[in-house]
Chains A and B, each alone.
Chain A
Amino acid sequence: MNVVVEHVPARRTPLRRLGRGAAGWFAPLATFAALLVAWHVATRVFDWPIWLVPSPLDVADATWEYRSLLPRQLWVTLLESLAGFGLATVVGIPLAVLIAASRFLERTIYPVLLGLNAVPKIAIAPILILWMGFGYGPKILVSFLLCVFPIVIATATGLRSTPPELVELTRSLCASQAQVFRKARFPAALPHVFVGLKVAISLAVIGAVIGEFVGASEGLGWVIVNSGANVNTSLAFAAMVLLSLMSVALFYALVGLERLLVPWARHDDV
């Protein structure tokens, strides 16, 4: 009989993974450190006034000084962004399923979606506030409007690009349309879905901030507008730094979720 000897790919050892991780973190951290130093030196050399360009130390001071205010505002903006993002996911994925399922629905839904996406969200925000008041509603809605589009596009693309063999295989087993969708099309589309979600999460934060810019009494966007009016530029910078950090953290949370749920996305040769 045949002796079957085959190669099993070696697993990465924890030590090597750690080494690679450290090297992976070092470069971006060094870049940020260098930029901070350059920024600091520039403020000293050109002697810019603090209300025009605060130095990184001024921003750190402001962050400390407003340590009771900022976390609460960050929390507000985080909730608005997540609500908008969640709503966009819950609405966007079924919408993409409809679009991918039928040409007729595609022709009906797609133009509306395109038109909606073409409207500048900054222009809608004041109208939404007029309709919905100064509460969370308009912020969540702007956030939703901004991030639903990439989710729909990516998911629909994923649902359309199922490997044909998977469809033939399931169909050859007398699978119903629903079974083909559940067993093959949808799971096969998940890596695409995550591409959409990763684009959307940053837009969700931007949407919430746009909403806050136009009319709000809390949130980091509100902090920025307010501190601009009071010429407290350091505080505005502190809020911006927190916003960026939040956005990056959300992005990496999604990357982590992706590795957990679709570990095969990085092995698409099967």
Chain B
Amino acid sequence: MRPNEFLSLVGRSGCGKSTLLRILAGLVPASAGSVEIAGEAVRGPRRDVGIMFQRPALMPWRSVVENVLLPVEILGLDRRAARREAAELLELVGLAGFERQRPWELSGGMQQRVALCRALIHQPDVLLMDEPFAALDALTREELSLELQRIWSERRTTIVFVTHGIAEAVVLSDRVAVMTPRPGRITRIVDVPVPRPRGFGGEAHEATVGAEDEVRALLFEREAA
């Protein structure tokens, strides 16, 4: 992967997308081959990686801002600077003023925004996202995708984004890696050479529809074979 690239992993359930992500995160060892981040082999969890799951995984005993600050505590970073950073991030996702709320007082979309802030608080070089919007309703999902695009354009990191949503993958990514099962492998990587910002409807959609069709064809062709 290239630095600061946005790469999506698309594939049917059970093709190993999430497993690949967990290998990248150093949570599970690879059965063969190896992963390198910044020239170093991944042998376990790394400090410069942020992660986001399908469920927000917020801690209900912590307030919103305390949830965002969790990585800071665990990594032992400077708290005062982190508090400012947390306030900025929450502002960036439109959650300014919600710092003291508890997670259960927030909607699903807001909870996932908090999880995004938490994944970014320690300024990771790599952000791993495992179907982060899959549990949200279609509207919130689209809204959050565009928000992610905006945030990524402001704070460049390398992102690996696992999803089932072809449109979502194409709109967000520089490249879309198509995975197929048994054995789980990346069949093809589709480039999306469309200028940003991109969108979901109308003209914006026309720009990306070509890449979308290509990904779709790759996914379903394999399915038929």
Contacts and interface: CB of A to CB of B under 8 A. Distances in A.
A5 to B, nearest CB: 10
B81 interface: no
B208 interface: no
B37 interface: no
Given A171-B45, A264-B102, A2 B53 contact: no
B70 interface: yes
A262 B25 contact: no
A270 B60 contact: yes
B94 A174 contact: no
B61 A174 contact: no
Interface in B36-82: 44-47, 49, 51, 53, 55-61, 70-71, 73-75
Choose among B26, B49, B53 the residue with the greatest number of A CB atoms under 10 Å from its CB. Answer: B53
Contacts of B1: none
B46 A174 contact: yes
A263 to B, nearest CB: 7
B143 A2 contact: yes
B26 A172 contact: yes
Nearest to B109: A6
Choose among B46, B59, B105, B106 the residue with the greatest number of A CB atoms under 10 Å from its CB. Answer: B59
A179 B143 CA distance: 35
B30 to A, nearest CB: 16
B59 A184 contact: yes
B198 interface: no
Given A169-B51, A174-B45, A184-B59, A6 B107 contact: yes
Nearest to A175: B74
A30 interface: no
A264 B46 contact: no
Given A168-B51, A174-B75, A270 B45 contact: no
B70 A172 contact: no
Contacts of A165: 53, 55, 57
B211 to A, nearest CB: 24
B83 interface: no
B110 A6 contact: yes
A183 B105 contact: no
A131 B92 CA distance: 68
A173 interface: yes
Contacts of A170: 70, 74
Choose among B22, B74, B143 the residue with the greatest number of A CB atoms under 10 Å from its CB. Answer: B74
A270 B26 CA distance: 25
A8 B104 contact: no
A9 B146 CA distance: 25
B73 A183 contact: yes
B26 A2 contact: no
A47 interface: no
A49 to B, nearest CB: 58
B27 interface: yes
Contacts of A187: 59, 61
B69 to A, nearest CB: 11
23 contacts: A2-B94, A6-B109, A6-B110, A9-B105, A163-B57, A165-B53, A166-B57, A166-B59, A169-B51, A169-B53, A170-B74, A172-B27, A172-B49, A173-B47, A173-B71, A174-B46, A179-B74, A183-B73, A183-B74, A184-B59, A188-B59, A270-B60, A270-B104
Given A8-B105, A174-B75, A270-B56, 11 more contacts: A2-B147, A169-B51, A170-B70, A171-B27, A173-B47, A183-B73, A263-B102, A264-B103, A267-B104, A268-B60, A270-B111
